[in-house]
């Protein structure tokens, strides 16, 4: 399954270089994001909220990318810490599976910004073989770090996430902002529905405990829930047509 022939000195050197470059990129992008947040706050203060939301989408993607860089930096550090295992073992050590799978998967996607990843990928391919490397690039082993997969996935940020960023930015810059009530309300409904399901499950547990003497459930196992002190009651008051505003 595995082939030989990697240049271990080259591999270690580029792992170190990759760590340094990733740190610089994280710092640079974080500083840029802070400037962009100020621009967005200015748009909000000028009532240009639609334009601000477009800029927020860009910030979200940049934030995700910074988190991806941080994860890769950690994984490169891990390979350096366990470099003897790479050098001495002919087969892949289980403790390195996720790190190596993830780096091989990420290399073609980020090598433009982190060229050292291409060199690292080539050396790991020389170590473990081309079929293994190609399988990692398509995540056939399902060993790629799930958080990194999420951060580098191509999708439009949700309206709710954008709105939460708008709220956070306006607060941090002391700019008045009225969130889109329709979007925020959808979030409340989702939370209320989740709580309804939780309440239903707890009720079923209680009935089961009362019905069967041998059940391991007891009244003390089921924590009390006060719906009047929860988002559930608030959301029901907001969205139910038969509940008056006085009840809320």
Q: Give me the percent of the chain exceeding a pLDDT of 90.
A: 66
Query: Do 63 and 16 share a structural domain?
Result: yes
Of 63, 76, 73, the closest CA to residue 29 belongs to 63
Mean pLDDT of 31-54: 95
- Residue 112 is classified by DSSP as T
Of 244, 212, 237, 18, the closest CA to residue 122 belongs to 18
The whole-angstrom separation of Cα 51 and Cα 212 is: 60
Query: Do 99 and 56 share a structural domain?
Result: yes
124 found inside a domain: yes
Q: For residue 148, what is the enclosing H or E element?
A: helix 146-151
Domain of 41, CATH number, reads: 1.20.1260.60
Question: Tens digits of per-residue pLDDT, 75-91?
Answer: 999 999 999 999 999 99
30 found inside a domain: yes
Of 227, 230, 224, the closest CA to residue 205 belongs to 224
Question: Tens digits of per-residue pLDDT, 51-61?
Answer: 999 999 999 99
Helices and strands counted in the chain (H then E): 10, 0
pLDDT at 2 over 70: no
3 in helix, strand or coil? Answer: coil
What per-residue confidence (pLDDT) applies to 234?
Answer: 38
Domain carrying residue 114: 8-173
Q: How many CA atoms are closer than 13 Å to the CA of 198, on its beta-carbon side?
A: 15
The whole-angstrom separation of Cα 147 and Cα 141 is: 16
Say what the pTM is. Answer: 0.72
Q: How many CA atoms are closer than 13 Å to the CA of 212, on its beta-carbon side?
A: 9
Domain total of the chain: 2
């Amino acid at each position: 399954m595995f082939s030989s022939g990697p240049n271990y000195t080259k591999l270690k050197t580029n792992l170190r270089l990759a760590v340094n470059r990733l740190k610089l990129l994280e710092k640079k992008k974080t500083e840029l994001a802070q400037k962009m947040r100020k621009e967005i706050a200015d748009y909000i203060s000028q009532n240009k909220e639609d334009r601000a939301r477009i800029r927020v989408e860009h910030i979200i993607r940049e934030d995700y990318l910074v988190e991806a860089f941080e994860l890769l930096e950690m994984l490169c550090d891990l390979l350096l810490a366990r470099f003897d295992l790479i050098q001495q073992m002919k087969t892949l050590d289980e403790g390195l599976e996720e790190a190596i799978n993830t780096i091989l998967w990420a290399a073609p996607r980020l090598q433009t910004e982190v060229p050292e990843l291409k060199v690292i990928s080539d050396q790991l391919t020389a170590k473990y073989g081309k079929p293994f490397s190609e399988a990692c690039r398509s995540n056939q082993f399902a060993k790629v770090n799930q958080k990194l997969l999420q951060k580098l996935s191509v999708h439009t940020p949700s309206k709710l996430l954008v709105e939460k960023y708008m709220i956070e930015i306006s607060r941090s810059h002391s700019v008045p902002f009225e969130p889109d009530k329709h979007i925020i309300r959808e979030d409340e409904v989702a939370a209320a529905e989740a709580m309804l399901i939780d309440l239903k499950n707890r009720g079923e547990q209680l009935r089961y405990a009362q019905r069967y003497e041998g059940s391991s459930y007891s009244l003390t196992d089921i924590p009390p829930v006060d719906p009047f002190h929860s988002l559930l009651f608030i959301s029901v008051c907001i969205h139910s047509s038969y509940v008056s505003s006085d009840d809320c």
